[in-house]
Amino acid sequence: MTDDDPYRWLEDVGGDAALAWVRERNTEAFAELTRSDTFAALRDEIREVLDADDRIPYPVTRGGYLYNFWRDTAHPRGLWRRTTLASYREAAPDWEIVLDVDALAAREDENWVWHGAQVLRPDHRLALVELSRGGADAGVIREFDLVAKAFVDDGFLLPEAKSMVGWIDEDRIYVGTDFGEGSLTSSGYPRVVREWRRGTPLEDAVTVFEGEPDDVSVGAYHDPTEGFARDFVHRSVDFYRDETYLRTPTGLVRLDVPDDAYTSVHREWLLIATRSEWVVGEDTYPAGALLAADFDAFLAGRRELTVLFEPDERTSLAGHAWTRNHLIVATLQDVKSRLTVRTPTARGWTSAPLADLPDTGSADIFDTNPDVDDEYYLNVSGYLQPASLYRGDIGAEPEILRQARAFFPAEGLAVSQHFAVSADGTRVPYFVIGKKEPGPTLLYGYGGFEVALTPGYSATVGRAWLARGGTYVVANIRGGGEYGPKWHQAALRENRLRAYEDFAAVAGDLVDRGVTTPAMLGIEGGSNGGLLTGVMLTRYPELFGAVVSSVPLLDMRRYHQLLAGASWIAEYGDPDDPAAWASISEYSPYQNVHPGRPYPPVFITTSTRDDRVHPGHARKMVARLREFGYDVRYYENIEGGHGGAADNEQAAHRSALIYEFLWRTLKPAPAGAE
C-alpha cells in the first residue's frame, strides 16, 4: 500500500461523511449483537458490578479528610466527596458532597467527565479541578474552594486544552497550555511553561521554560515541604528521555542524571531509578536499579549513591512511595508483588518487610501522606481474590478497612502460571484462570511502554467470562515492564516483532497444553494492546477464532501524524525514517491487510472523543477489512475518550457488546465434530 490512502477521509473525526459511516457501522453491530437475551443479561450484570454500592470507595488523604470520587446508578457522572477516617471505618461512612458532577453538567448543559483535582498543600483549601467534555484528554481547568464547596469567582480558569497546571502558592500557579501558535509540541502537549499570578491576564504570565517543538511536553511543579521547598522544571524529550531542572533565583540547574532515568525528590533525598546501565566513577549500576543520594550533596557534585534495589533475572522494580520517614519499595518476582520498607538512619538505610500481608498476586500502594506521617493505604487482590484495602502505619500491623465482595463464584476455578518459549528462546510468563476442562478461552495482552500486567480481581471478566465457563489468560510479553527496563527494551522499535512472537508463543502453548483450540481462542487488547491484536490478526490469523481490538493504533504509517502519536516515536520508531519504516511496515496492521487470508471474525471498537489514539485508526481498518469481504463489525462510542466510555452505562454497554461477540464466535464445536 502506498501513501495514497483511499480511506483517509475517515480521519475527519467530526466530519459529516465520516460520522454517517460510523452510525451505519454502529447500527449494523447493534442489530447483530444487542437483540438477544444474552446481551441484555451481560449488560445488566456488568452494570450491576460498576454501580454496586458495596464497591470499595478508594480514598485519598487531603488534610484532615479522605476524598473519594464515586459513580453509581443515581450519579453516572459522579460525586467528589469526603469523610473522616473515623467515619470511613464505619460500615456506612458519612460522606460530605464536595462537587456533584451530574448536577454541574445539567446546570451548565455540558457533558462533563471528571478528570481529577490538584489540591494546594499544605492547607488543602483550594483545588484546580479538571473537567473534560465527553471524556477527551483535553480538559477545562477551574479553581475550586474546598471550604465553600464552590468554584472560585474570577479564579484561575483555563479553556479546553491538554494543559499542565500546578500550584506554587495561593496566588500563583505553573501553567502549560495552548497559548497560541508555537506553544504546543508536535504531540499536542505544552511546549511552554509559565508562572501565572492571580488577577493577571494569562497572556502576561511569565515564561519559565520553553522546550523544543519535537519534545513530548514540558512542565513545572512546586514542592512546598516545610524546610525543603523547591521548584522543578521537567522536559520530556521523548517518551523515555527526560531532563529535570531545579529552579533557583539565578536560573535553572539541571540534575546530572542519565536522561532515561526516573528521578524524584523527598525532603533531603534524591531517588534515581535507572533504565540503562550507569557508570559513576568506578561504580556501575545496572538498568532497573533504585538509587538514593543526599539531594544537596548530589547537586554540589558528590556522587555517594546507595543501592536500595538491584534487579535480577526474576525480580524487577515496580514502584516506590514515601511516607514521612520511610520509603516503601514495590517489586515484582515473576510478576508477583513484594513490598519492602527502606528507612534512612544515621548508620545507613535499613530494610524490613512492609507487614505480614497475605501471599497474593498483587499488592499496590494506593496512597501515602508524606507531608505528615507514616500512614499508607494498600490494595491487595488476585485473579480470584476480591480486593482488600489495608491502612497501616510503618512498623505496626495494618488493619483491613474494606473488603470487596465476590462478584462471581470462584468454586472450581484455579490460577496457574506457565511459561511459553518464544521464537528466540525467551521464556514468556502467562497466567491461566479458569476450569481445567478445555473450552472457550480469552487471551489478553498489552506488551508496551514498560507497563506490567499484574494479577488483579476483575468482577467484569469474572461475571461476563469466567462464571459462564470461559478461561481467561493474561500474557506478560516483552515490551511490558514485568521484568524491568530490559524486558521492555527487548521489544522496542526495530525489535517490535518480539512482542508479537511472544504472544503467538503463548497462544500456541495454550493449544499444546490442551487449554483450548485455535477455534475457541479469542484475543483482546486496547490501545497499544489493540495494535497487538491487530498484528495477530494479520500475521497469525490461523492461531485464533476471534479478535477484539479496542481504541487501537493500526495505521503505523501515519500514527505519528495523528493526535498524540508523535509522543510514541521512542516506542515504535519514526515511519518517516526509511530504516524505521522497513521494520514497522512488517507488522503495521492497516498496511498488511490482504485478500484471501484466513482471518477470524473481528470486532473493533473506539471512541469519537478519543483525542489520544485517533479514531481514524479503527475506522480505516474496518473499511479495509470490509473492502476485502472479511467478517468484521465496528462500534464507536460518541463519548468516552481513550477509555472508550464516559460513564458506567456506556462502559457496560461496550463491554457487553464485546463479550456477546466473543461468546457467539467461540462456541465449542458440537460433540463428534472435527
Q: Report the C-alpha gap between 554 and 591 in whole angstroms.
A: 9
Measured CA angle at 361 (ends 359, 363), to 5 deg: 85
φ, ψ dihedrals at 351, nearest 5°: -135, 140
Give the three-class secondary structure for 181.
Answer: coil
Catalytic annotation present for 527: yes
> What is the rounded CA–CA span in Å between residue 365 and residue 379?
6
Describe the strand order of the beta sheet including 602-607 as a list of residue ranges. Answer: 414-421, 427-434, 471-475, 441-444, 521-526, 546-550, 602-607, 632-637
Distances (CA, A) of 533 to 441, 452, 507, 529, 589: 15, 17, 12, 6, 9
Strand pairing report for 242-248 and 251-254: antiparallel
Distance CA 161, CA 272 (A): 32
Question: Three-state DSSP class for 626?
Answer: helix
Angle at 501 between CA 497 and CA 505, to 5 degrees: 170
CA distance 554 to 492: 17
H or E stretch at 62: strand 60-62
Expressed in angstroms, the distance from the first to the final Cα of the chain is 38
How far apart, in whole angstroms, are the C-alpha atoms of residue 609 and residue 590?
21
CB 229 within 8 A of CB 223: yes
222 is catalytic: no
State the sign of the Cα–Cα–Cα–Cα dihedral 635, 640, 642, 644.
negative
What type of residue sits at position 294?
A: D
User: Residue 167 corresponds to which amino acid?
Assistant: W
Which candidate in 527, 549, 550, 607 is catalytic?
A: 527
Residue of 75, 234, 266, 642 marked active site? 642
Place of cell 510514541: 568
Q: How many CB atoms lie within 10 A of CB 566?
A: 21
The three grid cell numbers given for residue 116, joined into one nine-digit string: 481529577
Q: Which residues are tagged catalytic?
A: 527, 642
